[in-house]
Structure 1
Amino acid sequence: MKPIHNIDDVIAVLQDIIDTSIQEKSPLGYFAALYQKVTIKVKEGIQNGVFEDGPRMEKLDIIFAKRYIDAYYDFSQNKTVTSSWLKAFMLSKKFWPIVLQHLLIGMNAHINLDLGIAAAQVSEGQPIENLKNDFDKINEILSSLVTDVENDLATIWPFLRKILKFTRKVDNFLVDFSMEIARDGAWNFAVHLANTSPSDLDKVIQKRDKKVADIASLISNPGLIANVTFGIIRLGERGTVPQKIKDLMH
């Protein structure tokens, strides 16, 4: 893995993961493609002065991204990863999960676990409240992705919108999940970590990881009606895994 010193390095390493996934026809490339788009948006935000503290936001982005990137490479080398990421990565071994499930399960691990940890780390030595406005801005970018993803995937699933309208249960599942992300869970977790003594940090993170891994189980197995619907969508998905990864990059 290339060393990561700035946001451009993050974008380059994500490209390596995307290229490897295309070569190996691995669904792990779906989340990497989406995440590269987010990182480019954050970079543009820093350049355009959207954030109160651009250099701090770049530092946060690097710490945040490295949690995913390290987990990806650890998993590929059979090393231990968090339960949340393990559930996300293991989904890539199965045929039936649809692209959206792969994306949501990755977003779940990264936002609901990693974002709070990264926010607490970047705020070390400073009151974490100073980060709140910029944290909300990055969370807006992440939360808006659920809608962006649905739009992107229209190319992969020609009947996506019709199916979502027809099966309100699945639609509710997606809405509920996006609301989970949009809520203040990640921020509350960051504040909790910032106020936790160093000796208790691992215990608090493990407890959170277990909770986030439980949400991952709901994404991978959302119930009979959703599973049947997702099965229909899966059979209707257009293109090979590499083509779908490229569709997500546009």
Structure 2
Amino acid sequence: MAQTEHFAVRAVPGPSTVGPSEVGSSTVGSPVDSVVERMHVLRRVLPEADGLAVFNRIYLAVTEEFARHLDGGHFPDRPAATTLGVLFAGRYLTAVDTAAAGGRPPACWRPLFQYRRHPGVRPLQFALAGINAHIGHDLALALVDTCRALGCEPADLEGGFERVGDLLVLLEERIREDLMPGPDLLEIADPLTHLMGSWSLERARDGAWSAARLLWGLRDLPGLADEFTERLDAGVGLVGRCLLTPCR
């Protein structure tokens, strides 16, 4: 059955992004708290079965864990970690706002907005598609944004990037705990078994680091940087479309 693109999202109050001057401050938790509140608003206004709501619930839990780690002193460079975390989340929230305004979000996010209400797509697939878009595309660009905001090199952020990456592993754990059927229901021939085995958060994270380093190296060649970014976006979007293939 032919699918048409449905990008409508109920408008969510509040700004979708926080400027570099704000995220680089030492104010305890305020920029991250703003992001968390935006995600809570989304959780309240989106129907529970909405594919975007499925991803948002999981990402909200991980973002709250990130805030707790910040408060607990787990990041040696708190301003840098805050900047990366907030600019990273901001790209997701901007995609939501773009869709709400009737625009076209980045290609990596379009499959999730297109299929978010499809009855043949399971919650696990929505979660994987959101993670694929956010890590495969947004994380690399957020790292470059952070370098520009702080006037540093990607290598200066590697430690914080790794710690943020470790927290992102919680996304995968949450998916397995909350969305995977029990072993008595999940057969080897089930398409979900194939999906969980064919997409890797660790590989996506490694790819994001490599893409960010390449983009940083191309910062004085804007034409090539734009071309690479466009192709990265399209490639991640293609993977997302495959992840959302209806399974029933």
- TM-score, normalising length from structure 2? 0.81
2:174 is aligned, of 138, 141, 148, to: 148
User: In the alignment, what sits opposite 1:89?
Assistant: 113
The separation in 2 between residues aligned to 1:183 and 1:7, in whole angstroms, is 21
> Which ranges of structure 2 fall in alignment gaps of 5 or more residues?
1-12, 23-30
2:37 is aligned, of 1, 5, 12, to: 12
User: Quick one: structure 1 residues 121 and 94, their matched pair in 2 at CA, closer, same or farther if it must change by over 3 Å?
Assistant: same
- Please report how far the alpha carbon of residue 12 of structure 1 lies from its aligned counterpart in structure 2 after TM superposition: 0.4
- Given that residues 139 and 182 in structure 1 are in contact (C-alpha distance below 8 angstroms), is that contact kept between their aligned partners in structure 2? no
Matches within 5 A, 1:176-215: 176-179=198-201, 181=203, 183-198=205-220, 199-200=222-223, 201-215=225-239
The separation in 1 between residues aligned to 2:161 and 2:243, in whole angstroms, is 25
User: Quick one: structure 1 residues 146 and 193, their matched pair in 2 at CA, closer, same or farther if it must change by over 3 Å?
Assistant: same
3-state secondary structure, aligned to 1:22:
coil
The separation in 2 between residues aligned to 1:21 and 1:67, in whole angstroms, is 19
2:154 is aligned, of 128, 141, 166, to: 128
User: In the alignment, what sits opposite 2:72?
Assistant: 48
3-state secondary structure, aligned to 1:163:
coil
- Please report how far the alpha carbon of residue 57 of structure 1 lies from its aligned counterpart in structure 2 after TM superposition: 0.9
3-state secondary structure, aligned to 2:105:
coil
User: Quick one: structure 1 residues 168 and 153, their matched pair in 2 at CA, closer, same or farther if it must change by over 3 Å?
Assistant: closer
One-letter code of the match for 2:40?
Q
The separation in 2 between residues aligned to 1:217 and 1:150, in whole angstroms, is 21
User: Quick one: structure 1 residues 180 and 47, their matched pair in 2 at CA, closer, same or farther if it must change by over 3 Å?
Assistant: closer
- Given that residues 51 and 112 in structure 2 are in contact (C-alpha distance below 8 angstroms), is that contact kept between their aligned partners in structure 1? no
User: Quick one: structure 1 residues 161 and 178, their matched pair in 2 at CA, closer, same or farther if it must change by over 3 Å?
Assistant: farther
3-state secondary structure, aligned to 1:68:
helix
User: Quick one: structure 1 residues 27 and 88, their matched pair in 2 at CA, closer, same or farther if it must change by over 3 Å?
Assistant: closer
Question: Structure 1 stretch 192-201 or stretch 60-69: which is displaced more?
Answer: 192-201
- Please report how far the alpha carbon of residue 97 of structure 1 lies from its aligned counterpart in structure 2 after TM superposition: 0.5
User: Quick one: structure 1 residues 29 and 117, their matched pair in 2 at CA, closer, same or farther if it must change by over 3 Å?
Assistant: same
For the aligned residues, what is the CA RMSD? 2.1
- Please report how far the alpha carbon of residue 204 of structure 1 lies from its aligned counterpart in structure 2 after TM superposition: 1.6
- Given that residues 136 and 205 in structure 2 are in contact (C-alpha distance below 8 angstroms), is that contact kept between their aligned partners in structure 1? no
Amino-acid identity (%) = 24
> Which ranges of structure 1 fall in alignment gaps of 5 or more residues?
222-226, 232-250
User: In the alignment, what sits opposite 1:137?
Assistant: 163
- Given that residues 143 and 182 in structure 1 are in contact (C-alpha distance below 8 angstroms), is that contact kept between their aligned partners in structure 2? no
3-state secondary structure, aligned to 2:233:
helix
Aligned residue-pair number: 219
3-state secondary structure, aligned to 1:17:
helix
One-letter code of the match for 2:185?
I
- Please report how far the alpha carbon of residue 172 of structure 1 lies from its aligned counterpart in structure 2 after TM superposition: 4.2
Question: Which protein has the bigger helix share?
Answer: 1
The separation in 2 between residues aligned to 1:95 and 1:172, in whole angstroms, is 20
1:100 equivalent in alignment to 2:124: yes
User: In the alignment, what sits opposite 1:248?
Assistant: none
Which contiguous aligned blocks of 4+ residues in structure 1 show a shift greater than 6 angstroms?
A: none
3-state secondary structure, aligned to 2:54:
helix
The separation in 1 between residues aligned to 2:85 and 2:107, in whole angstroms, is 22
User: In the alignment, what sits opposite 2:9?
Assistant: none
